[in-house]
Amino acid sequence: MLNNLGIEIKDESLKQLISNASHNGTEIIDENDFLNWVKQIQNLTPILKADSCEDLLAAFKVFDLNKDGYITKDEIKTAMETIGEDVTEEQVDEFIIIADKDKDGKINYEEFVKLLS
């Protein structure tokens, strides 16, 4: 999945991140483990630069399929399936709950950036 999103990481680093992310030391990661893991990945990248803002906008556009400025549950599911990642309705719902700060049921660009920053 990370390669599909343009994030290059060595296999040994990925295995270490997964091992560290799993609260029970297995290769199974629950939602809380995953969110902590995302934070670890973010710490591997430098502080946002101008081109990083362009990357965030490009990433947002991958999910904003109808180009209305919002990412919906259906768009998340479709985009994830497009990059080869199956997600459950529960995972999509959890993502919306975490990212949707204004509680309108969809994610705008500002919410998307805050989630990934």
List pLDDT tens digits, range 61-113.
Answer: 989 999 999 999 999 999 888 888 888 999 999 989 999 999 999 999 999 98
Instruction: Report pLDDT digits (tens) over 29-43.
Output: 777 777 776 776 666
Specify the pTM. 0.57
Residue spans of the domains in the chain: they are 1-45, 48-117
**Given CA atoms 85, 88, 91, 93 in this order, what sign does their dihedral have?**
positive
- What is the CB neighbour count within 10 angstroms for residue 66? 10
Q: Which two tokens stand for residue 5?
A: 């999103």
In words, the CATH class of domain 48-117 is mainly alpha
